[in-house]
Amino acid sequence: MGAGGPFKNIPPNDSSAIRAQNCKAVDRLLYENNGLTKNEISQRLSLSMPTVAGILQEMEEDGILEYYQEKDVATGRPPLKYLLSSKTHVCVAVLIRDDYFKTLICDVHGRSLFSASFSLPYENNGEYWEEVCSLISKSMDSCELELKKSIGVNVILSCQVDPIEHLIIDRQHGEKFSYFNINQMETMLGAPVYLNNFYESAAFELGSTVAPQGNCIYLHISDVIQSVCMAGGRIFRTWENELGTLGHITLVPLGKKCRCGKFGCAQAYCSTDVFKEVFGEDIAGFLEDRSNTPQKQMFWHEYIFLLSILISNQYNIFKMPVYIGGELAKYLSGEDIELLNTMVCNATGSPYCLYLAGDSEELAIYGAIKILLHNFK
């Protein structure tokens, strides 16, 4: 008895749902396997050959399928092997910064197809997001890629977000992104839009590439201090709604007043703003002539010492290697890292555990692609 049973003229109510599910199954199977024959697809998914043939034909008409003829077959006509087109399921990452935004487009295997930085000062209004969408669309066009065939667009903001609900939940900076509207963006782009946090994306990249077993702490030190924990390659949200508050945990009890109003916050001692506050220079200017200035030498030693306490505290909580990123990472010399590591090892009794993370924007944008591919699997 065929599908539909004795009343084969009456289609079952959910036939389109079943069909959609089968299509998705074929899609996933081809995503995971580079080249399968019709027969192999049919066997692996327990679908009939005509069903598979129908789905493949539809996918081919949609332009998301490629095939090649297998060589070295002993007898008979070699069967066709099907695979997903490299122009399908591309991932788009969009990193929003104050003066520009960056776009990275990768194929389904994570290989870069396009990357660009657009000089567009951030503005909290609808026109800004329209312009971003238009530039994303143009970038896709220039690669002859279609947004509607992509996995989606991952927007990375440096404020606290809820990636499941696609919401901005930042109490401090939320207002700054009040014009960001995920539904409007999806309408403008005609593709799914996702939302993730800058620091979490950077940590995700570290966790899925260099960190052993995907375990690490990403410590971002710039004008703000952020920390993200990766456990087993997954983002581990210890503070759930408190992401970004690491800068405001007490580092020096009864210490100097922080801009948040509390006393002795890590922010007041270890952010890169302290050089401006004390010496009126950014970190680059401060470090330039520090070896000739005893006052600066002393300040730097004190800075490194307090930073080692912050890192030791992080290590003691999670017992994972710590990767330093952000503005500070650009200026720490090999000597500074060695010194910091010695201090942290002495304070925690741990083996060598401190590393430089590399460029945080690069990490975050590649992490954004990895998150899309990870969720798609």
Contact residues: Zn ion, CB under 5 A: 248, 258, 260, 262, 265, 267
Q: Which amino acid is at 226?
A: Q
Provide the minimum distance between the beta carbon of 269 and Zn ion in the complex, in angstroms, as a whole number: 10
Nearest CB to Zn ion, comparing residues 120 and 252: 252
Provide the minimum distance between the beta carbon of 332 and Zn ion in the complex, in angstroms, as a whole number: 23
The edge-to-edge listing of strands for the beta sheet with 91-96 is 112-118, 101-106, 91-96, 152-157, 193-197
156: left (phi over 0), alpha (psi -120 to 50) or beta: beta
Nearest CB to Zn ion, comparing residues 259 and 319: 259
Nearest CB to Zn ion, comparing residues 122 and 263: 263
Provide the minimum distance between the beta carbon of 265 and Zn ion in the complex, in angstroms, as a whole number: 3
Provide the minimum distance between the beta carbon of 219 and Zn ion in the complex, in angstroms, as a whole number: 17
Strand pairing partners for 323?
218, 355
Nearest CB to Zn ion, comparing residues 20 and 260: 260
Provide the minimum distance between the beta carbon of 263 and Zn ion in the complex, in angstroms, as a whole number: 8
How many Å apart are CA 275 and CA 269, to the nearest integer? 10
The residue among 62, 37, 51 whose CA lies nearest residue 2 is 51
Nearest CB to Zn ion, comparing residues 44 and 262: 262
Nearest CB to Zn ion, comparing residues 267 and 314: 267
Sign of torsion over alpha carbons 332, 335, 338, 340: negative
Q: What are phi and psi of 152, to 5 degrees?
A: 155, 180
Residue 6 CB-density burial (10 A; 0-12 exposed, 13-18 middle, 19+ buried): exposed
Neighbours of 184 (CB within 10 A): 15
How many Å apart are CA 362 and CA 119, to the nearest integer? 17
Provide the minimum distance between the beta carbon of 271 and Zn ion in the complex, in angstroms, as a whole number: 10
